[in-house]
Amino acid sequence: MQHIVIGAGPAGVVAVEQLRKLNPESAITLVGDEPEPPYSRMAIPYYLIKQIDEQGTHLRKDADHFDKLGIQIQQQQVTAVDAGAKSVTLSNGTTMPYDNLLIATGARPVTPMIPGVESEGVYPCWTLSDARNIVRLAQSGKAIVLIGAGFIGCIILEALATSGADVTVVEVEDRMVSRMLNDTAGNMLKQWCQERNVNVLTATKVEAIERGSGDRPLRVVCDNGNAIDADLVITATGVRSNSDFLNGSGVNVDQGVLVNEYLQSSVEHVYAAGDVAQGKDFSTGGFNVQAIQPTAVEHGRIAAHNMAKGHQHRHRGSVNMNVLDTLGLITSSFALWMGADGGDSAEVCERERYRYVNLQFKDDVLIGASTLGLTEHVGVLRGLIESKLRLNGWKKKLQQDPTRIMEAYLACTQAVGHNAHVL
Amino acid sequence: MLQALKLEPEKCTGCLQCEMACSYENEGVFNPAKSRIKVFAFHDEGRFAPYTCTQCDQAWCMHACPVEAIVVNAATGAKEVLESVCVGCKVCTIACPFGTVNYSHDSGKVIKCDLCGGDPWCAKACPTGAITYVASDDTGLERMRAWAQQGLPSAASFAAPTEKAVQTYNRAS
Amino acid sequence: MAWANKVLRVNLSDGTVTDEPLNMDWARQYLGQRGLASKYLVEEIDPKCDPLGPENKLIMTTGPLTGTMASTGGRYSVVCKSPLTGAIACSNSGGYIGAELKNAGWDMVIFEGKSPRPVYLYIENDHAELLDAAAIWGKSAWETDKILHRTHQDPQLRIACVGRSAEAGCFYAGVINDLHRAAGRSGVGTVMAAKNLKALACRGTRGVGNIKDPLRFLQATEEGKRVLRENAVTGQGLPQYGTQVLMNVINEAGAMPTRNMRETQFEGAHSISGEAMHEPRKSDGRPNLTANAACFACTIACGRISTVDKEHYTIQNKPQYWGNSGGLEYEAAWALGSDTGVDDLDALTYANFVCNEDGFDPISFGATVAAAMELYDLGLITQAQTDGIEFKFGSAEALTQAAELVAKGEGFGKDLGLGSKRLCEKYGRPELSMTVKGQEFPAYDPRGIQGMGLAYATANRGACHLRGYTVASEILGIPEKTDPLSTEGKPELVKAFQDATAAFDSSGLCLFTSFAWTLDDVAPQLDAACEGEWSAEKLLEVGERVWNLERQFNLTAGLTSKDDTLPKRLLEEGANVGPAQGKVNELGKMLPHYYEVRGWDSDGVPTSETRQRLGLA
């Protein structure tokens, strides 16, 4: 039995480990196209602020980890998949046969359609190699324009701001992190950034990146007529699945590789996991690309199980959730944070102290939440959502005070009694 | 025999000795705000509930960690944060469905209960027996976990946690 | 160290907040909390000032052990000049606010002047600011707590505030913290409201870390907890029955002041006792008591959490009172019950809820109601004054309506808010006021417990059980039994209790530990935590110094030895029943000797030798 896993991110790495556990005898190959050992993109922002070294980004710290598990690592790009022949072609021209194939190739940054985006000094921030460029160029006295205030844009802001550079963020949407935060929270985050000397332009589109005049080599022209001189331009305008190599393979691709509840693609013996997979969503029951770490891990684990043992393990859907640290302000979002038809909500907002909680209910069940400035017990929001716990009277209490999420969980899950020792 | 923390809210009086013991053991300061165990108050009902990580089998936090910063202590079964490895990405704080992994602004890392290496100070400090450290097959413990985990996906077909060397502790006593 | 070494000074007149280092020279002499804040007060205000004027200051203060793992190390005190007595006031409270203040990095907050408009102080660690209190002024303490939690969106925020009674000028309004703990006595809340200061909202996440010898401290506190656990009172009696464990004990001793101290035993004592709080009610089958609760760091947990029967007349259709809240302590049960002749447990519990909700002292309130009932009984007050209420001894309705009126400061509630002394003076019978220095008695009749008569007469804040609790010795035999009906040795006993109590109160610990602990148990904990050397002898000396400092304040304020006395009733009318039947309190036999033991002259003034010995010269 030969398992091939393409992609050495979290989904791929978890999958090969799980495959090894379940199929001790089979041959397992992990194919990755980046030169470094498998690493985590989640860690890149911390590498940028020099909190960790490169090794700190590695998914597995033991250099011999994959050797010890008998997993073969191929540093190659997969150029084609032949589903009929059950083989993959690598960039060095060789082909490898498989019994089961897992596509875990993740995503790559979308290059925005802006004239001049190919200029020198314009970088995405996605790979370790991108990060090294940014570390080299982001210095005190330099001017940086960050195009895109989404998740990636925000998470690297601290690195850019602490470098001492002059930072401007340009976001086409009317608020920051529009996929995680509503107007209220998104604009609180903007205010937070501006108070920390990061210039944030929302509802602003970059029309062109031109050659600069004077000291700055670049000039970012916006649709409001303003132009910003810059030494470095970083694009963070979203990612898309890495699935071009599947063209002609018969594997159906929409936003990502289409999979069923077993993480199997439209083709037998081909599975997909992680950011490349259009997997099942816990809240909607529909299929979408979540592109988050916990979902990647869950996919990798379940896909591997189904590859190794047959289709025993049904994916009940992952909760779409995220946590983000923007210049020290923590935001999080869970599942249907924007609410659902026929549901109701609760919200608290304290602007001056940067605290915000938004809860969404359907009947007396929590179905979504987003928070700003909250770091204590946020995970219980996931628990309340995923367990579909009936809140009964606690829904009303949460509507009065949405910060009492932990109390609601405890009150609804713990067997209660009173003072056995005094009464 | 592994042991686990057993929490019995009906015995809790809300004195917060556990929170002080925890924060002192872990941070060298009496500071409920830095405790890994928290006592929640229910004024109207007149009761209190101590709560912390149950070291659940699913180990959501550990599996969500992108950099292997959460490991199992083979001696205690505790899922421990390796502070030197944690990058502070906070993914575990949203992954833990019990809300028991928290981010610490001061350290830039996450903090969670580590059973104090097998001698949990909260249990030692609790004056009423609301927090005890018992054999993990204690029936009350099973009931407590079953309650806490109702509705969540059934246990673990995760890869078994790989055994790590027992951490060395530099503790106050 | 254990001290945070930082004081927050709030000038309400100017609206400024500034920080300054704690005066460590004074800390070494006065330790903290009651002692140290009294020292600040003595140094900073004119004892003759108007207690409700801007010249008075109000100090919220912690002790060195506040916020630590020492059992009961969560106390704080409010210190100022009292409007009720004109003497120095220090009211001590538990709950969580004291530890929170310490965790935020402050030893004490000194409020001075008077704000031109209602404000509250918000503290988050180093950050402190005065905020507009328009939204909470005119609200009860409970509503204030709720509104501030909502405003700041922080469930961990701890709040101390005044209720409507304080705003209305009730002379015995307290400062309520954590919904049902109170710095209750002597009108400290009245002073706070007079400064247009509605609340302190505090959040502290810094912690208390500068312990001198951490390992020794943990050992010493652990040993202290063991002693508390193994002691019958602190290990069993208080957790199970709270201070209400005393109701039947004191009644049997014939020292249960009843119906404005006309009588010394209450026939309804059992119905309002700690035991009764455990018994299922006839109406709904549930006991009054739901649970016991602890203050911060307390391993005793004497606090009562109670409910009132939903069908009880007091709370029908009032769902805001259907939940659990702070239940009856012994003093409240006595004052609201025995002293008014009311034996309806749920009515007392409701009245107690109202005292907490609007922040007034149930002891002074109950005793004032009792005095009003006697005036009514004598025809000196009629329904014309009482808003039509039949103000008869034993009337639960009169009691609970009175509580509601005092809470809002309306109608007859204004008269009742004067306190017993001013009320009885107003209606021409000052001798019917059961007070010392204007402050109402607590629940121990000094005819049946002789030492308490001396303790009441000489207490620096007026009649008070928490300044020299010789009941411990005379009734409970702690540390050794003395005869409650004898005056023999009582001056020495009272002095010893007073000085030790002052030391407990200055440490950040709860006085209730002293049922089990002596200063020999406290000293190792303080010594391990605090800079310097702290022995039991030194603590006793601190206690004596604090006592004499307070005394000097009072003397300068204009009080004299004539104020060291008891109401005529206790000195001349014999106890009607019980073991002390026929006995009066023999204060005259004890007081002169007490002055001698104290090193005071025959006018009760500390001699220069005494002052020098204590470093007060």
Cβ contact C218–B24 (<8 Å):
yes
Q: Is A322 helix (H, G, I), strand (E, B) or coil?
A: strand
Q: What is the DSSP letter of C610?
A: H
pLDDT band at A413 (very low <50, low <70, confident <90, very high): confident
Domain definitions of chain A by residue range: 2-108+239-309, 122-235, 328-413
The secondary structure of residue B81, as a DSSP letter, is E
* Statement to judge: residues C98 and C157 lie in one domain: yes
If one counts every other C-beta atom within 10 angstroms of the C-beta of residue C329, the result is: 23
Yes or no, beta carbons of A348 and C240 under 8 Å apart: no
Q: What is the DSSP letter of A167?
A: E
Q: Mean pLDDT, to the nearest integer, of C151-166?
A: 92
C484 and C341 in a common domain = no
Q: How many CB pairs under 8 A join A and B?
A: 172
- Whether C229 is covered by a domain: the verdict is no
**Tens digit of each residue's pLDDT (9 = 90 or more) over B9-33:** 889 999 999 999 999 999 999 999 9
Question: How many B/C residue pairs have CB atoms within 8 Å?
Answer: 95
Tokens describing residue A267: 């083709």
Q: Give the domain CATH number at C331.
A: 1.10.569.10
In CATH terms, the superfamily for domain A122-235 is FAD/NAD(P)-binding domain (3.50.50.60)
Give the domain CATH number at C570. 1.10.599.10
Using DSSP, state whether C374 is helix, strand or coil.
Answer: helix
Q: Which amino acid belongs to residue C487?
A: T
- Answer for the pair C275, C357: CB distance below 8 angstroms, yes or no: no
Task: Please indicate whether, in this complex, the C-beta atoms of B46 and C290 are within 8 angstroms of each other.
Answer: yes
Identity of the amino acid at C425: E
Six token digits for residue C187: 């009108």
- Is C87 domain-assigned? yes
Is B32 within 8 Å of chain C by CB?
Answer: yes
pLDDT of the residue at A417: 44
Is C1 within the bounds of a domain?
A: no
Domains of chain B: 3-149 (3.30.70.20)
Query: How is residue A419 written in tokens?
Result: 């003072």
| Distance between CA atoms of residues C78 and A132, nearest Å | 59
Q: Phi and psi (nearest 5°) for C8?
A: -100, 125
Q: Give the pLDDT confidence score for residue A418 in this predicted structure.
A: 46
Residue C551 CB coordination number (10 Å): 22
Q: Which residues neighbour C610 within 8 Å (Cβ) at sequence distance 6 or greater?
A: C548, C598, C599, C600, C616
pLDDT higher than 90, residue B115: yes
Residues C364 and C419 in one domain: yes
CATH number at residue C64: 3.60.9.10
Residue A422 tokens read as: 């005094």
In a domain, C236, yes or no: no
HSE-up (13 A, CA, CB side) for residue A139: 4
Whether residue C126 is found in the same domain as residue C248? no
| Chain C positions in Cβ-Cβ contact with residue B173 (cut-off 8 Å) | 215, 218
What is the SS3 assignment for C324? coil
Is residue C566 one of the residues assigned to a domain? yes
User: Does residue B157 carry a pLDDT above 70?
Assistant: no
- Measure the CA–CA gap between C392 and B22, rounded to whole angstroms: 54
| Of the options 3.50.30.10, 3.30.710.10, 3.40.50.720, 3.30.390.30, the CATH number for the domain spanning A328-413 | 3.30.390.30
pLDDT in tens, C222-251: 999 999 999 999 999 999 999 999 999 999
Q: Is C212 among the domain residues?
A: no
Between strands A143-147 and A232-235, the pairing is parallel
Q: What does the alpha-carbon distance between residue C424 and residue C380 come to, in Å, rounded to a whole number?
A: 10
- pLDDT score, position C71: 97
Residues C599-611, mean pLDDT to the nearest whole number: 98
Average pLDDT of chain A?
92
* Residues C179 and C311 placed together within one structural domain of the fold: no
Q: What is the pLDDT of residue B44?
A: 85
Supply the DSSP symbol for B36.
S
Does one domain contain both C76 and C165?
A: yes
Tens of pLDDT along C553-597? 999 999 999 999 999 999 999 999 999 999 999 999 999 999 999
The amino acid at residue B13 is T
Residue C324 touches partner B, C-beta closer than 8 Å:
yes
A326 pLDDT more than 90: yes
pLDDT digits (tens, 9 = 90+) for C384-411: 999 999 999 999 999 999 999 999 999 9
Length of chain A, in residues = 423
Contacts of C204 in chain B (CB under 8 A): 33
**Residue of A353, A359, A397, A419 to mutate, testing the C interface (most C Cβ within 10 Å of its Cβ):** A419
Residue at which a domain ends, from C404, C433, C462:
C433
**Which residue is closest to B11 within chain A, CA to CA?**
A419
Q: What is the DSSP letter of C563?
A: G
The pLDDT tens digits for C3-39 are: 999 999 999 999 999 999 999 999 999 999 999 999 9
Across A157-161, C128-132, C363-367, least confident range: A157-161
Q: What's the CATH class of domain A2-108+239-309?
A: alpha beta
Average pLDDT of the residues of chain C: 97
Query: Above 80 in pLDDT, residue B139?
Result: no
> So what's the pLDDT on residue B155?
33
Averaged over A221-225, what is the pLDDT? Answer: 92
- Are residues C67 and B17, on separate chains, in Cβ contact within 8 Å? no
What pLDDT does C231 receive?
A: 94
Best residue of A396, A410, A422, A423 to probe chain C, by most C CBs closer than 10 Å: A422
Q: Is C424 in the same domain as C484? A: no
Question: Residues of chain A with pLDDT > 70: what percent?
Answer: 98
Are the beta carbons of A332 and A324 closer than 8 angstroms? yes
DSSP H stretches of helix in A182-228: 183-195
User: Who wins on pLDDT, B153 or C387?
Assistant: C387
CA dist list (Å): C234 to C93, C243, C301, C331: 18, 10, 9, 17
* pLDDT (average), residues C107-121: 98
Supply the pLDDT for residue B170: 32
C371 shares its domain with C512: no
Average pLDDT over residues C96-117: 98
- Show the tokens assigned to B53: 């990580």
Spatial contact of C386 and C436, defined as CB atoms under 8 Å apart: no
pLDDT of A194: 96
Indicate the SS3 state at residue C81. strand
ipTM for this model:
0.94
Alpha helices in C51-123 (DSSP H): 97-103
The mean pLDDT value for A76-105 works out to 95
C304 with C356: CB under 8 angstroms? Answer: no
On whether both C94 and C67 belong to a single domain, the answer is yes
Mean pLDDT value of segment C205-215: 93
Q: Which residues of B are less than 8 Å from C301 in CB distance?
A: 13, 15, 127-128
Question: Do the first three CATH levels of A2-108+239-309 and A122-235 match, i.e. the same topology?
Answer: yes
Total domain count for chain C?
3
pLDDT at residue B38 is higher than 70: yes
C219 in any annotated domain: no
Q: What is the mean pLDDT of residues A400-423?
A: 71
pLDDT, tens only, A14-58:
999 999 999 999 999 999 998 888 998 888 888 888 888 989 999
For residue C214, the model assigns a pLDDT of 93
For residue B38, give the DSSP letter.
Answer: E
Contacts for C269 with CB less than 8 Å, ≥ 6 apart: C247, C248, C251, C256, C338, C343
Q: How confident is the model at residue B141 (pLDDT cuts 50, 70, 90)?
A: low
Give the Å distances, CA to CA, from C438 to C186, C445, C549.
9, 17, 20
The H or E element containing residue C25 is helix C24-30
- Domain of C588 in residue numbering reads as 448-613
Confidence of residue B143 (pLDDT cuts 50, 70, 90): low
Cβ count near C541 (within 10 Å)? 17
Rounded to whole angstroms, how far apart are CA atoms A311 and A315?
10
